[in-house]
Each structure stands twice: as structure tokens, then as C-alpha cells.
Amino acid sequence: MIEIDRVTKSYGDRRVVDSLSVTVGAGELCVLLGSSGCGKSTTLRMINRLIPTDAGSIRVGGEDVTRVPAEALRRRIGYAIQSIGLFPHWTVEDNIATVPRLLKWRLAQVRERVTELLELFRLDPETYRRKYPHQLSGGEQQRVGVARALAADPEVLLMDEPFAAVDPITRDALQVELAHIHRATGKTIVFVTHDIEEALRLATVIAIMDSGRIVQLGAPLDILEHPANDFVRDFVGHQGLGLKLLSVRRIGDRLRRGETTEGEPLSLDASLADALSAMTARRADRLPVCDAEGRRIGVIALADLVR
Amino acid sequence: MTQIRNQVLFTLVIASVAAVVVAGFVGYAPNRLVSGKPIALWEAAGGPSTTGVALLGGMLLAMCFTSPGKTLHSAQGSLATVLLLLVLVAAGQAASTLALGAKPAVRISLGAAFWVLAACAALAVVDALQRLGAGPAARVLAVAAIGAGVVVLALAGTFDGLSIAREYASRRQLFGDAILRHIALVAGSVGPAIVIGFPLGMAAARRPRLQGPVFAILNMLQTIPSIALFGLLIVPLAALATAVPQLAALGVGGIGVAPAIVALVLYALLPVVRNTAAGLASVDAAVIEAGRGMGLTSRQIFLQVEFPLALPVLLAGLRIVIVQAIGLAVVAALIGAGGLGTFVFEGLGQYAVDLVLLGALPAIFLALAADFILQTLSAVLRQRLAS
């Protein structure tokens, strides 16, 4: 869906992005992960041409981004940023409707879309559509920000540390919502963050960046188990590596089907870290597991976590 | 001892009482060129008005010791409004009574006690509105009520005996022309100042490096005294008119309207440019970034985002510019630009204070009215943004 091909960007004689190539498949959630100044934001902003490239090409949906007018391109690509940037003089409805109105959607269609998005983010449409941004909490503002990015149903969504400024509890909730929306809509998402936990939680693919290059590209588990070099090993951290591994593996992979035991069941989708946490808290070494419909289908045991 | 709950009102009442006791409410002069002999309120205005003023003053004084509340503040506002109008009526009555049977040359002018009383009553109204936390609508209503009262009194001939009204009566036609000319001078300079200053302010906001030189020049212009600037413009504009006869035919010359407008525009530039730059710079960069990222064009970002968000600051600048221009346009009469300043300088030349007031008071009211209207507008805007 997004093909970045040997793209370079320099400011003065400082090369911020250095002949970087990466391809993001349709429906992937690709996290650009790295410390500040590694070129991840610049790379993201070159995709929707907020920053022009010095060399190389970028294609979205097979089409070179420089072939279409920048404004038309950006209306096809959702964009959410850390500072959100809601228009303070517009209501929530007007904010979300920005791009659909630019695209001259019919009035009724715009209204329907706003309702749909507010519901998707669990904000009651009738209460929230007429509110102004300053009447919302930080988490609500960020939800509206992401809803606004999704408004015109773009094929691609670019997110630049969207959850970095909210408190940890709200961030958790927003990450869960984003993961849910990603699964439900199948959008292609490029997500910039410096937070390894966030990356492991959300990504289908992680690109670890340093000095304008990609150091390692791979699935979260892959990167944890086989770091390409010392830089990656340092970045993902030796400390708590085991817990990180548990957090990217699902209970479903280690399930003992058909067995049963007492207690509140865990979800099949939950991570092994969640299972370990529940076992420690409940002082149990076996816990029941249920599927999405709530049927008890098996058991997860302490010994299975370290297999 | 009882506690003073409203110290502002208390101070106003005490100041009024002191002024009424010590100073004259009106002045009595045998002709317009000598200064008047002060006459106290009770001697000048007669029993009923004096009693009324005393009664209202007493009630307002009692309010200083009453525990505050919405009802009390509303009552304070209403009583002070009535007091203000009553003071005006009393002055008119005093003038007609004293002028009765006197020689036509006799002049009854407004005295210090009148000005203090009227100012204190007006401030008591403002204090009440502030304590009520009144919004723009309530303020407009209060000002409209007082304004309507004054207009009704004036039309009923209440003030006809006062010397300032006598000066007006002998210059009725000139006064109308002067006030229109004054407004034209202000509009004619603020308009071009916006046309020149707004793009300049935008440029300064976009390119911070421009700000140094631009503001250095405009600040320097602002420090030139207005009379000096009017004088400085005489030579170049006179030369220009000689060189280009077509311009001279249009009325451009060393004296008159042209140098006045040029000077007023130069003075208006600094506030316009500064507030435009500050207003646009105050718009959150994230909002503009988000707008760009969603595919708004630069024009759309400017018209739909930057301009509306900067508007309260822009209006504040406009307020400064208009009030400043109304004041400076008075001085422009010195170089023959006309306007209300004509009366001021004519009055100064003749040592006729009432003629000075005939020019100065309307200028003050114009400035207050412009200030009030623009302040209300930006308050309404801020309320809608409320961020």
C-alpha cells in the first residue's frame, strides 16, 4: 500500500533520512520506532508531503505521491498528531467533518459519518457533537482527533505519537481502541512512537530506526527474539525482556484445549503477560480460557508460559 | 463599628459629597470670556433636585454597608443611573433658573461638583455591572438606557440654558459639519492603515526576521509628537502639490486634510501591524499543522482558521487605532484639517472654555463609543471561542 523507495532528506548538511526504503502492506500497522531525532517523524511527514523529499520516491496505493496535488493527496490520507490540533473555534462535529466537507460530501452523509465515528470512539453523539474542544478532556480530544483523521474513510492513516501527551490510563484505553479499530477497519496505518511498549502492543510490523535508516524490520516477536544488532538489543531492552516476550504472545498459542478448571476465564486474545498477571494475583497456576463468544474452551497453565 | 462591604462605592459617595460641599455645581459669569463664580448645588438647582440627589446619595451610602447580593447590585446600578440623569437635569434646571431675567451675555457653565458627581455616578454604574458579572448584552442595555435618557433630556431642551449649549446653538451648522469631518478623518486614516498595515503584519508574523526593522521604524514614527509630524509633512506635501498639479486639484497640499490623513495613517500603522502580527502568531502551530495535514489549502487555512482565531486580537488593535485617531484628529485642526479640533483651538484662542468643551466633549464621547462598541464585539467573539 505504501512503498518508500530510497528516500533521502537533509537539513543543511545533516542527513535526517538516509536512503530509506520500506514497504507497508495493505492492512498492516507499521510502527516507526526510534529515539527522538532518528528521522521517524520526518519519514512520516514525507508520505503526505508535509515535507518534500530530496531524493527517492514514495508511492501510496501504487501512485507516486508527487503526481497528485498535495491537498488532494492529504485528503485521502488520515493524519493525527500528538498535539491533536483540533480547531478551537469549531464544534466536535465541525472538526470531524473537516475533510468530508472539503470533499463536498452531502450534508446528511456528513452528519451520518460523524455519528458513526463518535459511536466508534464511545462518545455519545448527541452530547458530544455540539461541544467545543476546550470542553473535552485530553483523552476525548485525542479520540476526536483520530476520528477526524478517519472521517473521509482514508485508505491510509498516519499517526505521529498520537498518545504521547495523555496520561497512562487514558493511553492504555486509546491503544486498545486503536487496536480494535485497526482490526475492524483493516486500514493501513503508519504509527510513529519512541515507546517500545506501545510499539509491541499495536504493531504488526516494527521498523526500528536510527540516524535516518531502518536498523531492523520485522514482527514484534521476531525483533524481541532475534535482535539484529546491539543497537536493537539495547533499544528493546534486556531488562524485562521476558515480560515483553510474554506481552506479544497470545494465550491462544499455548492453550490446552478441552481441559477445564474453576475461576473467571481469560480471553483467548489476551497476552501471556495478562495470564501471568492474573495467575500471580489469584495465586493459581491454572486458569480457564474462553473464546470470543464466552465459551470455556480450555486452560492455560503456568508451565506453558515458559515453554 | 459597621463594616464597609463595598469600598469602591463608599469612596465614590464620599468623593461626591466632598465635591458638592466644597466646589460649585455651576459657574455664573457675566459674559463668555471671564471665568464664572461658583454656585453650590443647593443654591443653583433648587429644593426638589437637591433633595433628590441627597436622597439617592444616602441610599447608595447605605448600600456600602449592606451584605452583597444580586438584588443589591442591580439596585445600585439602577439608583446610580437615576442619579446620573438627575444630576444632568439639575444642571439644566440650574442654568435655566439662573439665566432667567439675566442679560443675554450671561453664561452658566458646568462646575467641578457637577463633573465629579456625574463621573462618580457613572463609575457606580460600572461598579455595579462588574459586581453583577454582567455580560456584553447587559452592558449594552445599560449604556443604551443612559444614552436614551440623555437624548430625551436634550431634545426636551433641558440643557438649553447651559453655556455649552449656547455655544452649540450659535454654531449648530458648523458643529454638524465638524463632527462629520472628524469621523471622515478617522475613517479615512484607519481604512488605509488597515490596508497597508494588515499585509505588513502578516508578513511580520510569517517572517520573524522582518519584525526587527519594521517595528523599529513604526516605533520611531510613534515617538514623533503629533504637532511636529504635522509640521514636518507641510514641506514635502506642498512640494508634491506643486510638482503634480493634478494632486493639488484633488486638494493635496501642505496644509489641510492631506497631511492630516498621512500623519494619522502613520500613527495608526504601529498598532495595526503589531496586533496583526501578534494575533496571527497567537494561533497554535499544531492547529495549522493539522489543517495542512488534512489537505486545507493555504487560503483555506488563513480564512477558516488563522483569521477567525486571530480576530479578537485584531479587534483589540482596531480599538486602539480608532480611539487614538479620534484624539489625534483633534490636533489636526491646527493645520486646517477641520473637525472638532476647530472648536478646541478657537476656544483656546478666545479663552472661552465652553467652546473648548464643545469640541472636546464630543471627541471624548466618540472615543468612548468606539471603544465600547469594539470592546463589546471582541467580548462576544471571545465568549464564542472561550479558550
Residue-wise pLDDT tens digits, B246-291: 887 777 777 878 888 888 999 999 999 999 999 999 999 999 999 9
Round to whole Å and give the CA distance between A20 and A43: 9
Average pLDDT in chain B: 87
B-interface mutation test, from A89, A105, A131, A160, most B Cβ less than 10 A away: A89
Residues of B in contact with A158 (CB under 8 A): 293
- What's A249-305's CATH class? alpha beta
Question: What is the share, in percent, of chain B residues with pLDDT greater than 70?
Answer: 98
Query: In chain A, which residues fall in CATH 3.90.1280.20?
Result: 249-305
Say how many CB pairs under 8 Å bridge A and B. 70
Round to whole Å and give the CA distance between B240 and B238: 5
Round to whole Å and give the CA distance between B246 and B263: 21
The pLDDT, as a whole number, for residue B355 is 86
pLDDT in tens, A177-197: 898 889 888 899 999 999 888
The pLDDT, as a whole number, for residue A52 is 94
> Can you read off the three cell numbers belonging to residue A235?
533499544
> Can you read off the three cell numbers belonging to residue A217?
524490520
B-interface mutation test, from A87, A131, A136, A190, most B Cβ less than 10 A away: A87
Q: Is A5 left (phi over 0), alpha (psi -120 to 50) or beta?
A: beta
Higher pLDDT, A149 or B258: A149
Round to whole Å and give the CA distance between B179 and B366: 9
For chain A, the residues whose C-beta falls within 8 A of a C-beta of chain B are 48, 50, 70-75, 79, 81, 83-89, 98-99, 102, 132-134, 145, 148-149, 158
- Specify the CATH architecture of the domain A2-240: 3-Layer(aba) Sandwich (3.40)
Check if the beta carbon of residue A298 is closer than 8 Å to that of residue A257.
yes
Q: 3-class SS at A138?
A: helix
The pLDDT, as a whole number, for residue A133 is 92
Chain B residue closest in CA terms to A97: B294
Of residues B290, B305, B309, nearest to A81 (C-beta): B290
Pairwise CB contact (< 8 Å): A71 & B295 = yes
Pairwise CB contact (< 8 Å): B286 & A89 = no
Of residues A79, A86, A102, nearest to B293 (C-beta): A79
Of residues A74, A86, A132, nearest to B293 (C-beta): A74
Residue A122's pLDDT band (boundaries 50, 70, 90)?
confident
pLDDT in tens, B100-117: 777 777 888 888 889 999
Query: Does the pLDDT at position B383 exceed 80?
Result: no
Taking the CA of residue A91 and the nearest CA in chain B, the distance in Å comes to 10
Round to whole Å and give the CA distance between A115 and A173: 21
Mean pLDDT of B111-131: 89
Mean pLDDT of B77-82: 90
What separation, in Å, do the N-terminal and C-terminal C-alpha atoms of chain B show?
45
Pairwise CB contact (< 8 Å): A148 & B291 = no
Higher pLDDT, A289 or B43: A289
Residue B387's pLDDT band (boundaries 50, 70, 90)?
very low
Round to whole Å and give the CA distance between B12 and B126: 12
The pLDDT, as a whole number, for residue B386 is 56
Q: Which residues pair with A2 in a beta bridge?
A: A24, A60
The pLDDT, as a whole number, for residue A306 is 80
The pLDDT, as a whole number, for residue B4 is 80
Residues of B in contact with A88 (CB under 8 A): 284, 287, 309, 385, 387
**Cα B202 from chain centroid (whole Å):** 29
pTM of the model: 0.79
Look at the block and give the residue holding cell 470670556: B33
Chain A residue closest in CA terms to B286: A85
Pairwise CB contact (< 8 Å): B289 & A99 = no
CATH topology of domain B172-385: MetI-like fold (1.10.3720)
Query: In chain B, which residues fall in CATH 1.10.3720.10?
Result: 172-385
Pairwise CB contact (< 8 Å): B295 & A72 = yes
ipTM of the complex: 0.82
Residue A31's pLDDT band (boundaries 50, 70, 90)?
very high
Round to whole Å and give the CA distance between A172 and A182: 15
Q: Kindly list the distances between the CA atom of residue A98 and the CA atoms of A163, B12, B293, B301, in Å, as whole numbers in the listed order.
A: 21, 54, 11, 12
- If one counts every other C-beta atom within 10 angstroms of the C-beta of residue A72, the result is 11
Residue A30's pLDDT band (boundaries 50, 70, 90)?
very high
Mean pLDDT of B38-50: 82
pLDDT in tens, A201-250: 899 999 999 999 999 999 988 888 888 988 898 888 766 777 888 888 88
Q: Single out the residue of A208, A205, A132, A137 nearest to residue A174, CA to CA.
A: A137
Check if the beta carbon of residue B260 is closer than 8 Å to that of residue B335.
yes
Tell me the range of A12-16, A112-116, A243-247, B208-212 where mean pLDDT is highest: A112-116
Mean pLDDT of A273-299: 87
Query: In chain A, which residues fall in CATH 3.40.50.300?
Result: 2-240
Taking the CA of residue A220 and the nearest CA in chain B, the distance in Å comes to 29
Helices B7-22 and B112-132: crossing angle in degrees, nearest 10, is 170
Of residues B295, B305, B308, nearest to A102 (C-beta): B295
For chain B, the residues whose C-beta falls within 8 A of a C-beta of chain A are 284, 286-297, 300, 304-305, 308-309, 384-387
Range name among B35-39, B52-56, B87-91, B119-123 with the lowest pLDDT average: B35-39
Q: Single out the residue of A79, A99, A274, A264 nearest to residue A176, CA to CA.
A: A274
Pairwise CB contact (< 8 Å): B295 & A74 = yes
